[in-house]
Amino acid sequence: MKILDIYKFLDELSPFELQESWDNSGLLVGEFSQDIQRIALSIDVDEALIDSLEEDTLLITHHPIIFGGLKQLEFNKYPANLIQKMIRKNISNIAMHTNFDQTHLNNYVAQEVLGYKIVKKDGFVAYLDVNESFDEFSKKVSVAFGLPHAKCVKCHDDVRKVALVTGSGCSLIKSIDADCFLTGDVKYHDAMEAKSINLSLIDIGHFESEHFFAQILLKHLKNLGLEVIIASSKNPFTYI
């Protein structure tokens, strides 16, 4: 099957036109005319992953390996060092990032991982009715995402309405209409801002909240008649 046929299938599943203007989803490495026999799915690209893949593999990732504009390819620097290895092994890459967040990832995490129904969607934000104590809810969240602890800003003893954005969503804090906001990559000043507007926060991690990408997409690709594997995506952070 040609990459173009796979791309069209993915575009019907989660239209690339839905991606944000700053995003870079789509075919990033390779050419549409190439024939593909196997697909690997991963949240990211790293050196160990490339080394583990067979030649002529199509790698579908959540995060784009090329994000900003590239002015040069210095092969001892990121991401050119990884792109060089991919080209040598003829490994192609399609990224499905903010388009997949909107169509699949946030829904899956809310319903399948956390176990709550979505009562409202507003772009990237999924709203859930919870009605639990904050302490009970935060412990449930940390277990669901496999977190060693829950890093929180606690502004309420109870949680009724929760907003969820997988990955990094703190830029949306001002627009959140909820008692509690679940997202990743929470920084110190994000926490200070949330506290000042009485919005509880729970940091669900970037990798931890998005690594479900591969298992979601695998279900849809099984019918293409190709070999599809979930690659061993690893969190770059280590908790000691």
Residues 120 and 35 both lie in one domain = no
**Statement: residue 171 has pLDDT above 90:** yes
Q: Does residue 150 belong to any structural domain of this protein? A: yes
The predicted structure's pLDDT at residue 110: 97
The set of residues, in sequence order, having a beta carbon less than 8 Å from that of 37 and lying 6+ positions away, is: 56, 226, 227
Percent of the chain with pLDDT over 70: 100
Residues 202 and 216 both lie in one domain = no
Residues 34 and 107 both lie in one domain = no
Q: To which residue do tokens 């009970």 refer?
A: 136
The predicted structure's pLDDT at residue 237: 81
Residues 123 and 77 both lie in one domain = no
The predicted structure's pLDDT at residue 150: 85
pLDDT digits (tens, 9 = 90+) for 93-141: 999 999 999 999 999 999 999 999 999 999 889 999 999 999 999 999 9
Q: For 67-76, 155-164, 190-199, which range has the lowest pLDDT when averaged over its residues?
A: 67-76
Residues 221 and 199 both lie in one domain = no
240 falls in which pLDDT band (50, 70, 90)? confident
Q: Does residue 58 belong to any structural domain of this protein? A: yes
159 falls in which pLDDT band (50, 70, 90)? very high
Q: What mean pLDDT is predicted for residues 174-184?
A: 97
The C-alpha atoms of residue 110 and residue 119 are separated, in whole angstroms, by 11
Residues 109 and 197 both lie in one domain = yes
The predicted structure's pLDDT at residue 222: 87
CATH number of the domain within which 148 lies: 3.40.1390.30
**Statement: residue 238 has pLDDT above 90:** no
Q: Does residue 12 belong to any structural domain of this protein? A: yes
pLDDT digits (tens, 9 = 90+) for 46-104: 999 999 999 999 999 999 999 877 888 889 889 999 999 999 999 999 999 999 999 99
Q: What mean pLDDT is predicted for residues 152-156?
A: 96
Average pLDDT, the chain: 94
Q: Does residue 240 belong to any structural domain of this protein? A: no
Residues 155 and 178 both lie in one domain = yes
Q: Does residue 82 belong to any structural domain of this protein? A: yes
Q: What is the 3-state secondary structure (H, E, C) of the chain?
A: CEHHHHHHHHHHHCCHHHCCCCCCCEEEECCCCCECCEEEEECCCCHHHHHHCCCCCEEEECCCCCCCCCCCCCCCCCCHHHHHHHHHCCCEEEECCHHHHHHHHHHHHHHHHCCCCEEEEECCEEEEEEEEEHHHHHHHHHHHCCCCCCEEECCCCEEEEEEEEEEECHHHHHHCCCCEEEEECCCHHHHHHHHHCCCEEEECCHHHHHCCHHHHHHHHHHHHCCEEEECCCCCCCCCC
Q: Does residue 239 belong to any structural domain of this protein? A: no
Residues 112 and 196 both lie in one domain = yes
pLDDT digits (tens, 9 = 90+) for 216-233: 999 999 888 899 999 877
Residues 114 and 201 both lie in one domain = yes
Q: To which residue do tokens 């956390």 refer?
A: 114
Residues 81 and 7 both lie in one domain = yes
The predicted structure's pLDDT at residue 195: 97
Count of structural domains within the chain: 2
CB atoms within 10 A of CB 33: 8
Q: 138 lies in which domain range?
A: 102-207
The predicted structure's pLDDT at residue 69: 78
Q: Does residue 47 belong to any structural domain of this protein? A: yes
Q: Does residue 202 belong to any structural domain of this protein? A: yes
Residues 60 and 126 both lie in one domain = no
Residues 150 and 110 both lie in one domain = yes
Report residue 229 as tokens. 């594997």
Report residue 83 as tokens. 């792109």
